[in-house]
Amino acid sequence: MTEKVKSSMTDKKILLRAVKNSFIKLNPRTQAENPVMLLVYVAAILTTILWIAALMGTKDAPAGYTLSIAVILWFTCVFANFAEAIAEGRGKAQADTLRASRKDVDANRIPSIEEINQITVVSAAALKKGDLVIVRAGEQIPADGDVVYGAASVDESAITGESAPVIRESGGDRSAVTGGTQVLSDWIIFRVTSEPGQSFMDKMIAMVEGASRKKTPNELALQIFLVALSIIFILVTLSLYTYSLFSARQAGIDNPTSVTTLVALLVCLAPTTIGALLSAIGIAGMSRLNQANVLAMSGRAIEAAGDVDILMLDKTGTITLGNRQADTFVPVDGTSEEELADAAQLSSLPDETPEGRSIVVLAKEKFGIRERNLSDKKFTFIPFTAKTRMSGVDYDDHEIRKGAADAIRDYIIARGGTYSKECEEVVTKIAEQGGTPLVVSKNHKILGVIHLKDIIKKGVRDKFADLRKMGIKTIMITGDNPLTAAAIAAEAGVDDFLAEATPESKLNMIRDYQTKGHLVAMTGDGTNDAPALAQADVAVAMNTGTQAAKEAGNMVDLDSSPTKLIDIVRIGKQLLMTRGSLTTFSIANDVAKYFAIIPALFMGLYPGLSALNIMGLESPLSAVLAAIIYNALVIIALIPLALKGVAYREVSAGKLLTRNLLIYGLGGIVTPFICIKLIDMLLAALGLI
């Protein structure tokens, strides 16, 4: 997707924009969108007022101390805004690049395909859904649509970042064109499929810059939980103030606990760390998906990817390489394997298909047979046709044929040859193994069979094993017969398969799993995939696919790589892991800060609390000031982790929970004790307290 953008934390332009936006976001309306940080915002305003009152002679706390608390609280708000702004930075940079690549072009609108000469030149913005437009070589496609006539080479680098052109043609699954791309050769007529301002490019710009990002259900639920915690801590703080006031009066002394201190204490105890980073985590997750060249139409889809437990994958291009390749030569009727390989290689010399080239390569690798010098002999090559279902070569007095078993059998028998039982048995065995048998004959005599097989992608079996550890079931979808599908599924290591797949069978399988409480993800590119994509919880449409498929999906893979679904699941899980880990760390922080601050703050009134002052903080004021400084700095310290995400590991939910509790739970408890003590010592050494 466009030019790759530098890391947000190292790009000066993004950093400067983020700093500027950090202060712009101090707008009360913006702050109100995050209830937890709104509490800090109000606290900053309150302590600022208390500082002004202290300058005017009102007794609450020393003016310098109150000013310090106010400044740190304002910086806490700015740091929280910075976390969100820096997360948005990469997306805004990508959006700027996309806007720069889009031009205001004219469109050649025509009344119908038959009236291509009656062109009306209109602005691209004036095009409406259903209009027919003709685009010639060198012209930019003015809107999204489906090709209804012709074929052309199209440069889609503005969308995908790939310089290699693609073919767009009427009919089939490669008819969709995107506004902003350019026709390089030939010409096409397409029907507009989007209204002005609703094109794929418009949606893409809105999504990558986060303008249309809405809080997901999980995010909203967590925010409600954080608000509830904040309310509890407000009540706790009020209770502490009441007890402090009561105890001071009983002892006949002034209340040593100032409002400024209690406000600072409230901010320290509230879950401000995760409250400040929550939005940044969601935006960064979407940004990571954008970096993978996947456009998510909703944040909900990314979270759903993290919860997916059923993965439906196409066989071709995802599990296999997409082209069958020669695996072995199986001679029959006393023929040597080298003689069979030589004949197979000769018949495949003019065949430029991956299958044909693989036969030549296999013959070379096994027997050192190299391509012949054909200039000194009269070679006549017989091309493959759908009617004959065979190809071959005639030279001197020899005739070699290679093709489907039944086609070669009929050809040989018609010319007085014999089709042996041994050959029939080999053909049957290869078919049962999920391979494709190609029979080779020379001078009307069967030499043997070439075993073509689907080549399983390297490492795909390990990937499926990792997914299985995470509790994700993999299902291979293929149009092959059940016997072939079973053989490939066993070799690839998938958990299940759907053979002879139809749109109805895919849709029914998804619905069946969903009624059992599963979340299903699948990929698709054709109009026939649209019903299943619309039903799936995570539906990844290929950018090269039809408009119907892209509209039915909730994600679009700009690279059109079927294997991308596995990466999407990982990004979704990483998003959930990051949010869970930082939430654990934040809440553990609150517990630690509670036990670090309360003893130091109230041991003057309750001497028994001195036993709990294990940190030996200098004074109540230094304890609060150190804690409030730590509370602000920890937000900045965790921004890189929020943006990058917690390291992804293919482990079970139980092991993941244990790991998070040990690292982020225990770490969240220990870290505040160490950092608050160090800050307290620094403040004392500088003579600030």
Q: Active-site residue numbers?
A: 314
Pairing of strands 538-542, 555-557: parallel
Bridge partners (DSSP) listed for residue 441: 401, 446
- The answer to whether the beta carbons of residues 451 and 327 sit under 8 Å apart is yes
The kind and range of the H/E element at 385 are: none
Neighbours of 138 (CB within 10 A): 9
Q: Is 355 annotated as a binding residue?
A: yes
Q: Is 388 annotated as a binding residue?
A: yes
Q: Is 390 annotated as a binding residue?
A: yes
Q: Is 385 annotated as a binding residue?
A: yes
Please give the Cα distance from 203 to 87 (Å, whole number): 19
| Type of residue found at 582 | L
User: What angle do helix axes 217-251 and 272-291 make, rounded to 10 degrees?
Assistant: 160
Place of tokens 């291509």: 116
Cα 203 to Cα 99, 103, 206, 207, 301: the distances in Å are: 12, 16, 5, 6, 15
Question: In the numeric block, which tokens belong to residue 637?
Answer: 């310290």
Dihedral, CA atoms, 430, 433, 434, 438, nearest 10 degrees? -10
Q: Is 442 annotated as a binding residue?
A: no
Q: Is 384 annotated as a binding residue?
A: yes
| Type of residue found at 343 | A
Cα angle, residue 567 at apex, residues 561 and 568 outer, rounded to 5°: 95
Q: Is 351 annotated as a binding residue?
A: yes
Q: Is 272 annotated as a binding residue?
A: no
Q: Is 529 annotated as a binding residue?
A: yes
Cα 123 to Cα 100, 128, 156, 248, 269: the distances in Å are: 18, 11, 21, 77, 58
- The answer to whether the beta carbons of residues 412 and 441 sit under 8 Å apart is yes
- Say which DSSP state 438 is in: E
Please give the Cα distance from 224 to 219 (Å, whole number): 9
Place of tokens 């759903």: 304
Question: In the numeric block, which tokens belong to residue 199?
Answer: 């094109």
Please give the Cα distance from 303 to 310 (Å, whole number): 14
Those residues with Cβ within 8 angstroms of residue 284's Cβ, 6 or more apart along the chain or in another chain: 87, 578, 642, 643, 644, 645
CA 383, chain centre distance (Å): 44
Question: In the numeric block, which tokens belong to residue 508?
Answer: 């029914």
Please give the Cα distance from 356 to 225 (Å, whole number): 62
Please give the Cα distance from 243 to 251 (Å, whole number): 12
Please give the Cα distance from 176 to 202 (Å, whole number): 16
Question: In the numeric block, which tokens belong to residue 264?
Answer: 């600072």
The kind and range of the H/E element at 678 are: helix 666-685
**Residues making up the binding site for Mg(2+):** 525, 529
**Residues making up the binding site for ATP:** 351, 355, 384-391, 402
